[in-house]
Each structure stands twice: as structure tokens, then as C-alpha cells.
A and B are shown apart, each in its own frame.
Chain A
């Protein structure tokens, strides 16, 4: 019999809760993006309302983690697992907040006709979401290689962000009446860029979890 099967089960439950939270946050981001592209205000509002559920999950993870620290006196890998679960849950909570921000931008733009077809923003989002999905998978399977791979895409996202912002700002002189829409779309680009940053933070935490070393993948 394992000497700490109860503790091990609790650590697994903590990880599973975090995975559920991450899945819900990813889903919220995708829904917010669809709401923005299809100008679906109803869907955008659903995303905004759905954030409470994700916040509740974060509280649950925090409470569980603190209880495990208090009851099990974790050290070494066990302590890092709990520490990293707390850190990753904060990053994932930010994903959900960003989904809300994108949804709010969709609401602000409302039914105003898009100044042009939106093509590059979803592309940038796809790349950021790949990073999210890989970093969460890397966390779940404690896979350093995958963590590093996911963080490598951050530069590409940053590059796209730079060129998209320039492009959007260049539309303002010709479309002064759509300034609000253009600024909202620029915000969305910034939100997506932040998704990539939070995902990189998760990847850094995976490396710390496995090796005990703090690294900066966003240098």
C-alpha cells in the first residue's frame, strides 16, 4: 500500500479541477471570438455571465491547495505541485477575464458594420489558443518539451500584434466614424497578445514544477 495514497488522490483532484477550469476558460475565449466575428451580442453576454463559474472554480482550487498545505505539510515535488497549481490557476483565471474583455468589445462594437472583413485577428487568436492548449497539456502531463514548444510561439504572436496594431491605426484617417470599432479591435489584439503571455507563464511554471528551476521563456 502506498503511504500517501489519500494525499496523492487529492493532488490529482487539484490537477483535474484545474484542467476543468482551463477547458472552460478556453471555451469562453473561443465563444467570445465567435461572438465578435459574428457580431452575436447574445453570445457575448453569455460569455460575460459565464465568468462567475470560472471564478468559483479558482476559489475552489485555492481553498483545496491551502487545505493541502495545512494538512499535509508538503515538501519538495509535492510542494511545487501545489505552488504551481496556485500559479497556473491565476493565469487561467486571466484567460477567462480576457474572454470577458473580448466579449465586452463585441458588445461595444454591437451591430455596426465591420470596416473590413476580419481575417488576421482570428489567425492570431488561433496561434494564441494553440499556445494555451499546449501549455495546459504540458502542465497536465508535466512535459517540459511541450512547454518550451508552446512558449516558442510567443514571438510570432507578438510580431502579429505589432503589425495588426499598425494596420488598424492606419484605417482611422479614412474611417473617422469607425474610430470606436477600430480601437475595440486594437484592444482585442492586445487581449490576444496577453493570452500568449499568460500561456508562456504557464509553460515557465511547468518547467519549475519538473526541474525546480525558474526560467524566463518570454525574454
Chain B
């Protein structure tokens, strides 16, 4: 491997296998993830895509009876190493889920939560981080006059953007998104997609989506998973115009899966 490829990659996953008890859920996954790119993961339910994304910040460790082999190198450090500091890892690799899950606190406190946990106390510093994160997700203009209002009073799309701001407030390098728009209306979905395209200037984004048009609109690379295997990983334009594997073609054209 050349130095240039090393510096371009934020994650380098080699021969990753994962079992839930006896069930072999990820099979020999080799997957490089480049810096400041959006990588979309598609595949039918149960293909392992959510499992895979949860390995990247070891959220998967919360599931009982999980066993993994292989390497998940994050900035050249294998996070499967037992010495890995999980709090530190998750500060660098943030995550948002299907449905916005704000804490039952104010808008401000939601975004300030992470930095406070990591020891940031001064109000001026916190203000700066909160404003920047809310601007990054294009929510600032909508909430700047009611930062102390309860976050749960926001609309579904706003709640999801707030959760993304909360994830960004700890200044992660990578943002994992597990079907971030599946519970949102089309306009809120497009707002999140626009935001993703802006965020990739600063962050590396990995997004799991059931929405094929979404994958084709927002991502640079697309990976197709099927029954625990990574079938094809290529530039999004190749995957959606001329996939190499007939199973990928079958899935994206809606013929199976």
C-alpha cells in the first residue's frame, strides 16, 4: 500500500467477520473508506449493512453475544484492539439514527451535551460550538431565537438535524448515519441530503439507506451488501450505471431483494 492511499483512507477494514452467537452476520469484509467522501451502504433487510456501520464506532459491542475477527483500522489503529478507548473512538466517530432522538432538554443543551461530557465548561466556548454545529446542519436560522425551548417541540426533520448537530459538536472526523431520513417527509429528507453534501467538505460520512435514489444523489461511493457479504463497492456512478455484479444490478433495478 502506498503512502498516498494510506493518507486518503480514514478506515481500512480487513477480513472483518462478525457473528451474533452462531449466526455469521458479516463475512470477510474488506472495505476502505476514504476521507471526506460520502459512502452509501445499500442492501436488502438483514444483509448486514446496519451491523457493519455499527462496527465502525463499536456500538455493536452493546449487542450481547457478538464476536468479531479481522481488523477495523481507524487512522491506522485497529479499533478491535482491547486497549481501544471507546469514549475517545466515539468522539471521533459520531452516529445518528433513523429517528431523531433528542434528549428531553433544551435545543442548546442537546448540542452542548457532548462537549460538556468531554469537559468543556466555559459558556463562550460552548456557545461557539453550539452555534457552529447548528449552522453546519442549517438549523441555526430556524432556532436561533428559541435555543432554550425544549428540543422535543421541533418538527421531525428539525429534530433529526438537531441530532446531527449534537453529533458534530464533539468535532468528529466521521459521521455514521443509519437510515437518517427513513422517518422524514420528502422536503425534510432533501434538506438532510443537501446538508450531507455540505458536510462532506469537513467530514467523512457513511450512510446506510434503503432509498436508492438517496444513495445515488448524495454518495461518492456505494457498497452493496447481501447476506453478510460485501458484493460490490465502487464509485456511485459506476454502481448505478454499470454495476459489475448481476446481484447488484438485480437489487438496484428492483428485480430482487
Contact = CB atoms under 8 A, between A and B. Distances in A.
B256 A75 contact: no
B241 A74 contact: no
Nearest to B243: A76
B216 interface: yes
Contacts of B212: 73, 75
B31 interface: no
A78 interface: yes
B28 to A, nearest CB: 26
A78 B253 contact: yes
B5 interface: no
B249 A76 contact: yes
A212 B213 contact: no
A209 to B, nearest CB: 11
Contacts of B241: 75-76, 79-80, 212
B253 A76 contact: yes
A189 to B, nearest CB: 40
Given A73-B213, A75-B212, A4 B253 contact: yes
A76 B255 contact: no
B240 interface: yes
A2 interface: yes
B197 interface: no
Contacts of A73: 212-213
Contacts of B240: 75-76
Contact of B255 (A2, A80, A212): A2
Contacts of B249: 76-77
Interface in B196-228: 212-213, 216
Interface in B167-223: 212-213, 216
Contact of B254 (A4, A79, A80, A212): A4
A7 B240 CA distance: 18
B138 interface: no
B216 to A, nearest CB: 7
Interface in A60-113: 73-80
B254 A76 contact: no
Contacts of A78: 253
Interface string B7-38: 00000000000000000000000000000000
A3 interface: yes
Given A76-B241, A212-B241, A4 B216 contact: no
A82 B249 CA distance: 16
B133 interface: no
Q: Which of B213, B242, B249, B256 has the most chain A CB atoms inside 10 A of its CB?
A: B242
A4 B255 contact: yes
A194 to B, nearest CB: 31
A77 B243 CA distance: 9
Contacts of A80: 241
Contacts of A74: 253
B243 A3 contact: no
Contacts of B242: 76, 212
B40 interface: no
Interface of A: 2-4, 7, 73-80, 212
8 contacts: A3-B255, A7-B254, A75-B216, A75-B240, A75-B252, A76-B249, A79-B241, A80-B241
